[in-house]
Amino acid sequence: MIRVTLPPHLRKLARVDGEITLAVMGEITQGTVLDALEAHYPMLCGTVRDQVTRKRRPFVRFFACGQDLSHESPDAPLPNAIASGAEPFMIVGAIAGG
Amino acid sequence: MSGVRVLVGTRKGAFILTADAKRANWKISGPHFAGWEIYHLKGSAADPNRLYASQSSGWFGQIIQRSDDGGSTWHQPGTPEGESTRTPEGMPKGESNKFVYDTSPETGKPLTTHQWYDGTPHPWEFKRVWHLEPAQGDPDTVYAGVEDAALFRSVDGGRTWHELAGLRGHGSGPHWQPGAGGMCLHSIIVDPMNPQRIFIAISAAGAFRTDDGGKTWQPINRGLHSLYIPNPTAEVGHCVHHIAMHPSRPGRLFMQKHWDVMRSDDAGESWHEVSGNLPTDFGFVIDVHAHEPDTIYVVPIKSDSEHFPPDGSLRVYRSRTGGNDWEPLTKGLPQNDCYVNVLRDAMSVDSLDQCGVYFGTTGGQVYASADAGGTWNAIVRDLPPVLSVEAQALP
């Protein structure tokens, strides 16, 4: 199971508390993790990435294992620690005041 | 009528204010969707407990919310709590947040560019829903005015949205440009006697009308005069802030433009200025009394750079003659050191026998008058900046 953390706004929208876990089929990439996230929590469709272009929203960033993966290809394999469930895939809202 | 519900959208959530028909004691519910910008929420005339809300953020995009119980509970249409998150065919739901410009060869129009602030071409990009307008007779049909300017319609209670592409595809689209708040479609008025006729307004393109249910559109800006654009009488390019209509007189429209208060008596074919004795004719809101089609309200704002009332004195102005002759309404409103703004969708009226008038400010106050503007009271004083106010008379 893949562990995913969401920013507070999206946790509230998805009606979840804390970390969530997802079953992801096939290779573990940003794209497949987000596909699984949106399939299980359709109310998040369009919030992390654009529904049409599938591009990450500019103020959303991805972190895992102490690395900023925001600019990695969505098709690149995520670190093994994510795939094994040892570490969470972190979806974070950029800090910009307000 | 048993009472009133006032729906308030703010920069940090939605609030629902309710009172009985006396409108003296109010209950305040909220914040709903705390932390999100709620540009607009509105109830259906056909089913007052059916509410739609536009929830958005620069971080996480656009969410459409719906309530079927007057705002006690909310859900994203098509994804009610506890229901399967997949369709019987296995497809994930969540389509209710999807606003995609129609570029299909059958019904759509190619995505052109519009003008950016500096006049350079800029691609059309969806940002948010500014205004939701439920259709008169059907709670499942609702229109959405969006930024970048376009009109969408849902006929399934907000589950799916389809663009009425003839508007964006009007030949003048490449000449539209954003106002300071963005290139938004902010006003939608469906003619109650002829649902095929719809009026909309875009900042800063102007007003448009369709007479065929949204297939084709024409600009209706003749008579507008805007000194801030290269051709002051251009067919498009005017910064219309808001338009209003009384349902009993669908041919008469009122407009608060960037500067100038205007009236049309021929469904927008021509406009003439009715600013009259207003202290300034800059402003954002304009609305019509529920029972007196010639009685209108504006809140004059000092100028396009000083977005606050003249002299620090918050005054609603009322005309009982369809404009030109205006009287200030001040009783109960702050007359000193008040420097708030009242944004374009932040005024509304109720349809009780004694018409109620409501408006919200960027300072977080929501003012109510239960006597058509004669006296005012603050229902609440310390909300986040108010973006929109909609009043509903409850059966």
Q: Is the pTM of this model over 0.90?
A: yes
- Reduced to 3 states, what is the DSSP secondary structure of residue B95? helix
Q: Which positions 29-58 of A are in contact with B (Cβ < 8 Å)?
A: 38-48, 50-52, 57
pLDDT in tens, B272-319: 999 999 999 999 999 999 999 999 999 999 998 899 999 999 999 999
Instruction: Say yes or no for a CB contact (<8 Å) between A13 and B63.
Output: yes
Domain assignment of residue A71, yes or no: yes
- Reduced to 3 states, what is the DSSP secondary structure of residue A31? helix
Q: Domain spans of chain B?
A: 3-78+93-394
Instruction: Say yes or no for a CB contact (<8 Å) between B61 and A50.
Output: yes
| CB-CB contact of B176 with B164 (8 Å) | no
Nearest-neighbour CA in chain A from B92: distance (Å): 5
| CB-CB contact of B274 with B262 (8 Å) | yes
| Topology of the domain covering B3-78+93-394 | Methylamine Dehydrogenase; Chain H (2.130.10)
Cβ burial, residue B3 (10 Å; 0-12/13-18/19+)? middle
Mean pLDDT on B212-228: 94
Mean pLDDT on B107-121: 89
User: Mean pLDDT for chain B?
Assistant: 94
Instruction: Say yes or no for a CB contact (<8 Å) between B60 and A10.
Output: yes
Domain assignment of residue A42, yes or no: yes
CATH number of residue A52's parent domain: 3.10.20.30
Distance CA B342, CA B326 (A): 18
Nearest-neighbour CA in chain A from B61: distance (Å): 5
pLDDT in tens, B169-218: 989 999 999 988 899 999 999 999 999 999 999 998 999 999 999 999 99
Instruction: Say yes or no for a CB contact (<8 Å) between A93 and B60.
Output: yes
Nearest-neighbour CA in chain A from B99: distance (Å): 9
ipTM comes to 0.78
What pLDDT band is residue B229 in, cutting at 50, 70 and 90? confident
What pLDDT band is residue B230 in, cutting at 50, 70 and 90? confident
**How many other β-carbons are positioned within 10 Å of the β-carbon of residue B100?**
15
Domain assignment of residue A13, yes or no: yes
Q: With CA atoms as reference, report the closest residue to A12 among B313, B74, B201.
A: B74
Domain assignment of residue A59, yes or no: yes
Domain count, chain A: 1
Which one of A15, A43, A56, A61 makes the best mutation probe of the B interface by having the most chain B beta carbons within 10 Å?
A43
Count of CB pairs separated by less than 8 Å, A with B? 64
Domain assignment of residue A98, yes or no: no
- Any idea what DSSP says for residue B310? G
Distance CA A44, CA A21 (A): 15
DSSP for A69-86, written as a single string: -TTS-TTSBPPHHHHTTS
Instruction: Say yes or no for a CB contact (<8 Å) between B86 and A9.
Output: no
pLDDT at B80: 58
Task: Note down the domain range covering A41.
Answer: 2-93
pLDDT in tens, A28-87: 999 999 999 998 998 899 999 998 888 999 889 999 999 999 999 999 999 999 999 999
Cβ burial, residue B24 (10 Å; 0-12/13-18/19+)? exposed
pLDDT at A63: 94
Distance CA B10, CA B386 (A): 4
Distance CA B303, CA B266 (A): 29
| CB-CB contact of B299 with B281 (8 Å) | no
pLDDT in tens, B59-95: 899 999 999 999 999 988 877 556 655 555 554 456 8
Cβ burial, residue B338 (10 Å; 0-12/13-18/19+)? middle
